[in-house]
């Protein structure tokens, strides 16, 4: 038996994740760090890759840590009880993990390595419902066309790769270089709709 609730907390600053949840008709409230009076949270430490860590293990672990931080944040602020959703996305070529580029040079390096290759996009979703934690992982494959140095430079100059796992946004200009995808388009964007809807149904948030 699930306990129905009228909204969820979204522990993500991503406008894409918010948009995708709104597409499902899920009322949400942001639950973001660094509000007045909050203790500082070390996002870089949470996203650090452990030695020899596999991409799937990495994205699941990081999502769990982000949700732990969000649950603690919720408790500190004394907020109304409701499910808390967290998600994280990473890009992997083989066992090499491509997180968010540090700068334009790093973004160009990532894109040069991904160009002409098929890589994986792994997105983990975790939902805290009271004492229960529901999780899911979506794995998709994306093939990039070859990209010249000039094309990479022009794309990086748009600023779009910064702040994106793998240094690209499939819903943006990078789509011009995507030859093929297999899996979840919304998962590649940052929140797999099928897996997320399944968790929300289990939490009593979504009926459709």
Residues shown for the chain: 208
Mark residue 203 as left, alpha or beta (left: phi above 0; alpha: psi -120 to 50; beta: remaining): alpha
Strand segments (E) across 115-177: 118-129, 132-144
Catalytic member of 42, 88, 103, 154: 88
Burial class (CB in 10 A: 0-12, 13-18, 19+), 123: buried
Residues of the chain by 3-state class (helix, strand, coil), percent to 5: 40, 25, 40
Q: Determine how many CB atoms are found less than 10 A away from the CB of residue 168.
A: 28
Q: Is 106 a catalytic residue?
A: no
Rg of the Cα atoms in the chain: 17
Strand-pair partners of 137:
124
User: Where in the sequence numbering do the catalytic residues fall?
Assistant: 88
């Amino acid at each position: 038996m699930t306990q129905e609730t009228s909204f969820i907390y979204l522990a993500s600053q991503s406008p894409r994740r918010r948009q995708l949840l709104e597409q499902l008709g899920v009322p949400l409230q942001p639950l973001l760090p660094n509000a007045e009076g909050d203790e500082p949270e070390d996002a870089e430490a949470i996203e650090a890759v452990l030695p020899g860590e596999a991409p799937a293990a990495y994205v699941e672990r990081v999502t769990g840590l982000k949700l732990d931080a969000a649950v603690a944040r919720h408790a500190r602020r004394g907020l109304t009880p409701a499910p808390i959703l967290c998600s994280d996305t990473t890009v992997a070529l083989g066992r090499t993990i491509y997180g968010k580029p540090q700068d334009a040079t790093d973004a160009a390096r990532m894109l040069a390595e991904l160009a002409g290759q098929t890589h994986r996009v792994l997105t983990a979703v975790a939902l805290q419902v009271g004492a229960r934690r529901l999780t899911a992982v979506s794995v998709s494959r994306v093939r990039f066309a070859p990209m010249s140095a000039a094309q990479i430079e022009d794309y990086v100059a748009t600023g779009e790769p910064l702040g994106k796992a793998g240094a690209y946004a499939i819903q943006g200009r990078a789509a011009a270089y995507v030859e093929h995808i297999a899996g979840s388009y919304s998962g590649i964007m940052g929140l797999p709709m099928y897996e997320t809807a399944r968790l929300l149904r289990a939490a009593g948030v979504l009926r459709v």
